[in-house]
Amino acid sequence: MYAQSCGMRPRTITSNNFQRKICNRRFRSVKLLAAVSSDSTLAPADYTTLGTTDVRVPVMGVGAWSWGDRSGYWGYGREYGQEESRAAYKALIQSGLTFIDTAEVYGYGKSEEFLGEFMREQATKSPGSPAPIIATKFAPLPWRFTSASVVEAAKASLARLGLSSMGLYMQHWPGFGPQYFFNDAYLEGLADCRQRGLCQAVGVSNFSTRRLKQAVKLLAARGVPLASNQVQYSLLYRAPETNGVLEACREAGVTLVAYSPLSQGLLTGKYSAGSTKPNGPRQLVYSDSRLREVEPVLGAVKAVAEARGKTMAQVALNWCICKGTLPIPGAKNERQLTEIAGALGWRLDEAEVAELDAVSSRVPAGLGFPAENF
């Protein structure tokens, strides 16, 4: 599975406002959609399975963090809106990129709601088109202490999505602080979800090597394989290679799903020191000092892109695939989705991967999500 082919800033969420915005909403009855589909326009080489499960997905997915985001991080409502997200969804279905990652906290449920709406529209207007494989995540929030709370969170996500079962259900980050003592209960809850048919596979996110191994062992005792560990990974953040996470995933047969594979846009070549920066909190990713630090990597990616007739984003994503990981770049609109779809159907050769490895290894890594070290 792993053979080479060649954060959001923390925000305080209280029980009351989260439950008001997410958990207690009412949703109209919808036609339940399949969570897994084998139809696609992709070549066989552009498919894989999640861990040792039988859930078949493209080797690259699409992240829906920005869809309906109300934190101000991505500029939703200022720079783009629901129609742009809808166009991205239509384009991903047409391209065959049918593995979509979301979470209950994205837009306080709005990302899942959008996705459910888009799927209903698809089922009505194009009944023969493939149904996407949906991955979503529950958060170990302060009022969640039991395995039953995970099951209830899964049911709430499924209601927003309009599904009876999802492809992959994950713990978004390991519990810390008071929630530290309930991590085993959360994993038991994931196993319950799988055994009740609420999902076809279960995974975790931001888990360290130690936590990953513990999760594999606990779930195995329930007869449930751990399918994935979703962590930050890119040419500008290769910590999973040195902290043991990537190797632990390989040894356990767990798919490493790479979030922020474009380093939140740094690897697209769109920004440079002294240039215009994104609005909002994301400006912190694009400091002039960081942009100067990463110039050698951007130069190497650009050189490969020009030689290949590809974009820098396509090269950076293909590198992740060649490393045996499954990247999930975000796409706010149809143009971005079309570009990332161009990362499939070809592979970097060994010399190109080695050159990118060498250059990126000399650049300081960016910031990681703190919870990944718990």
Catalytic residues: 106
What pLDDT is attached to residue 132? 96
For 134, the enclosing helix (H) or strand (E) is strand 133-138
Cβ contact 57:49 at 8 Å = yes
Alpha helices in 170-325 (DSSP H): 183-195, 209-221, 239-242, 245-252, 288-293, 295-308, 312-322
CB burial of residue 102 (10 Å; 0-12, 13-18, 19+): buried
Residues (pLDDT < 50) of the chain are: 1-5, 7-39
Q: Please report the pLDDT score of residue 40 as a whole number.
A: 52
> For 313, phi and psi rounded to 5 degrees?
-60, -40
pLDDT at 20: 41
pLDDT, position 15: 41
Question: How far apart, in whole angstroms, are the C-alpha atoms of residue 100 and residue 258?
Answer: 13
What is residue 50's predicted lDDT score, i.e. its pLDDT? 98
Which residues pair with residue 56 across a beta bridge? 49
Structure confidence at residue 263 (pLDDT): 94
**Rounded percentage of the chain residues whose pLDDT exceeds 70:** 88
Are 180 and 171 a contacting pair, CB within 8 Å?
no
Q: What is the pLDDT of residue 78?
A: 86
Q: Residue 7: its pLDDT value, please?
A: 36
The closest alpha carbon to 108, from 143, 151, 65, 148, belongs to 65
The pTM is what? 0.89
> Which tens digit of pLDDT belongs to each residue from 192-250?
999 999 999 999 999 999 999 999 999 999 999 999 999 999 999 999 999 999 999 99
Give the number of C-alpha atoms closer than 13 A to the C-alpha of residue 367, restricted to the C-beta side. 13
Check residue 372 and give its pLDDT. 64
Q: What is the pLDDT of residues 65-96, one digit of tens each?
A: 999 998 888 888 888 999 999 999 999 999 99
